[in-house]
A and B are shown apart, each in its own frame.
Chain A
Amino acid sequence: MLQITGVSRRFGDVTALADVSLEIRQGEFFALLGPSGCGKTTLLRILAGFESPDAGTVTLDGADLLGQAAHRRPVNLMFQSYALFPHMTVAKNVAYGLEREKLPKAEIRDRVGEVLEKVGLSAMAGRRPQQLSGGQRQRVALARAIVKRPRLLLLDEPLSALDKKVRAEMQLELKRLQHEVGITFVVVTHDQEEAMSLADRIAVFNAGRVEQVDEPVALYERPRTPFTAGFVGASNLFAGRACSAGLAADGLGVLPGASDLPDGTPALLAVRPERLRLGVGPGGASGGGPGGAGALRGEVADVSFYGGVSHVSVVVPGRAEPVLVATQGATQVRAGTRVVLSWAPGDGVLVPQ
Chain B
Amino acid sequence: MTRSTVSGATAAPRSRRSRAPGRLAFLGPGLAYLIVLLLVPLALLLSYTVFRRGRFGGVVYEVTGENFTRLLDPLYLGVIASSLKLATIATVIALLVGYPTAYLIAQLPRKWKTVALVAIVLPFWTNFLVRIYAWIVLLSGPGLVNSTLEGLGLGPFEFLYNQGTIVTGLVYSYLPLMVLPLYAAIERLDPQLREASANLGARPARTFVSVTLPLTLPGVVTGCLFVFVPSFGNFIIPELLGGGRSIMVGNLVRDQFLKARDWPFGSTLALALLAVLVVLLLLQAWSARRA
A interface list, Cβ under 8 A from B: 48-50, 69-73, 75-77, 79, 81, 83-87, 96-97, 100-101, 144, 148
Contact indicator A79/B206 (Cβ below 8 Å): no
Given A70-B195, A79-B192, does the pair A97, B215 have CB atoms closer than 8 Å?
A: no
Known: A79-B192, A83-B195, A85-B193. A71 touches B201 (CB 8 A): yes
Measured between beta carbons, the chain A residues less than 8 angstroms from B196 are 77, 79, 83-85
Do B195 and A50 have beta carbons less than 8 Å apart?
Answer: yes
In the complex, residue of chain A having the shortest beta-carbon distance to the beta carbon of B210: A96
Across the interface, do B200 and A76 meet the contact criterion of CB distance under 8 Å? yes
The verdict on A97 contacting B200 (CB below 8 Å), with A85-B211, A86-B215 known, is yes
Check if B142 is an interface residue, CB within 8 A of chain A: no
User: B259 on the interface (CB 8 Å rule)?
Assistant: no
Most chain A Cβ neighbours within 10 Å, of B206, B207, B210, B291: B210
CA distance A85 to B291 in the complex (A): 13
Q: A83-B190, A83-B195, A85-B193 are in contact. Are A144 and B200 (CB under 8 A)?
A: yes
A71 near B203 (CB under 8 angstroms)? yes
Contact residues in A for B198 (Cβ distance below 8 Å):
49-50, 69-71
Residue of A nearest to B203 (CB): A71
Residue of A nearest to B190 (CB): A83
Chain A positions within 8 Å of B211 at CB level? 85
- Whether B199 is near chain A, meaning CB under 8 Å from some CB there, is yes
Complex CA distance for A4 and B142, rounded to whole angstroms: 67
A194 smallest CB distance to B (angstroms)? 23
Q: Are B201's CB and A97's CB within 8 A?
A: yes
B206 adjacent to A100 (CB under 8 Å): yes
* Chain A CB within 8 A of B244 CB: no
B residues near A77, Cβ cutoff 8 Å: 196, 199
Measured between beta carbons, the chain B residues less than 8 angstroms from A73 are: 199
Known: A85-B211, A87-B214, A87-B215. A71 touches B193 (CB 8 A): no
Please report the C-alpha to C-alpha distance between residue A97 and residue B206 in the assembled complex, in whole angstroms. Answer: 12
The digit string for B165-201, where 1 denotes a CB below 8 A from any CB of A, is: 0000000000000000000000000101101111111
A75 to B204, CA, bound (A): 17
Q: Which chain A residue lies CB-closest to B217? A: A87
Looking at chain B's contact residues, the main secondary structure is helix
B202 interface contact, C-beta 8 A: yes
Residue of B nearest to A87 (CB): B214
Chain A residues near B214 (CB, 8 Å)? 87
Cα(A248)–Cα(B209), bound, Å: 68
Q: List 19 A-B contacts (CB under 8 A).
A: A48-B195, A50-B198, A69-B198, A70-B195, A70-B199, A71-B198, A71-B199, A71-B203, A73-B199, A83-B192, A85-B196, A85-B211, A87-B215, A87-B291, A96-B210, A100-B200, A100-B201, A100-B202, A148-B200
Select A48's contact among B190, B199, B210, beta carbons within 8 Å: B199
Size bin of chain B's contact surface: 20 to 34
Minimum distance in angstroms from A94 CB to a CB of chain B: 10
Chain B residues closer than 8 Å to A97, beta-carbon distance: 200-201
- Quick check: A83 and B193 within 8 Å, CB to CB? yes
Q: Give which listed residue, A75, A81, A100, A144, contacts B192 with CB less than 8 A.
A: A81
Q: Tell me the minimal C-beta distance from A6 to chain B in angstroms.
A: 25
Instruction: Give the residue name and chain of the A residue nearest to B204 (CB).
Output: A71
- Please, which residue of chain A has its CB at the minimum distance from the CB of B195? A50
* Bound Cα distance A70, B206 (Å): 13
For A71, list chain B residues within 8 Å (CB): 198-204, 207
Q: Judging by beta carbons under 8 Å apart, are B192 and A76 in contact? A: no
Residues of A within 8 A of B291 (CB): 87
10 nearest A-B pairs in the assembled complex, by CB-CB distance: A97-B200, A100-B201, A83-B196, A83-B192, A70-B198, A71-B198, A50-B195, A100-B202, A77-B199, A87-B214
A254 CB, min distance to chain B CBs, angstroms: 55
Contact partners of A49 in chain B: CB under 8 A: 198-199
A70 to B204, CA, bound (A): 10
Residues of B within 8 A of A86 (CB): 215
> Is B192 touching A148 in the complex (CB atoms < 8 A)?
no
Instruction: Report the nearest B residue to A101, measured CB to CB.
Output: B201
Cα–Cα, bound, A148→B291 (Å): 28
* Binary flags per residue of B235-269, CB closer than 8 Å to A gives 1, else 0: 00000000000000000000000000000000000
Q: How far is the CB of B192 from chain A (nearest CB, A)?
A: 4
Q: How far is the CB of B206 from the nearest CB of chain A, in Å? A: 7
Complex CA gap A49/B193 in Å reads 14
Contacts of A87 in B (CB 8 A): 214-215, 291
Bound Cα distance from A89 to B190, whole angstroms: 18
B residues in contact with A100, CB < 8 Å: 200-202, 206
Which residues of chain B from 50 to 104 have any CB-CB distance to chain A below 8 Å in the complex?
A: none
CA distance A73 to B201 in the complex (A): 8
Q: Provide the bound-state CA to CA distance between A87 and B207, in Å.
A: 13
Specify which chain A residues have a CB less than 8 angstroms from the CB of B207 in the assembled complex.
71
The interface residues of chain B lying within 8 Å CB-to-CB of A101 are 201
Interface string of B101-139 (1 = CB under 8 A from A): 000000000000000000000000000000000000000
Q: Is B193 a contact partner of A148 (Cβ separation < 8 A)?
A: no
* Minimum Cβ distance to chain B for residue A146 (Å): 12
Given the complex of chains A and B, what is the CA–CA distance between A50 and B197 in angstroms? 12
User: Which residues does chain A contribute within 8 Å of B199, judged by CB atoms?
Assistant: 48-50, 70-71, 73, 75-77
**In whole angstroms, how far apart are the Cα atoms of A77 and B199 in the complex?**
7
| Smallest CB separation, A93 vs chain B (Å) | 9
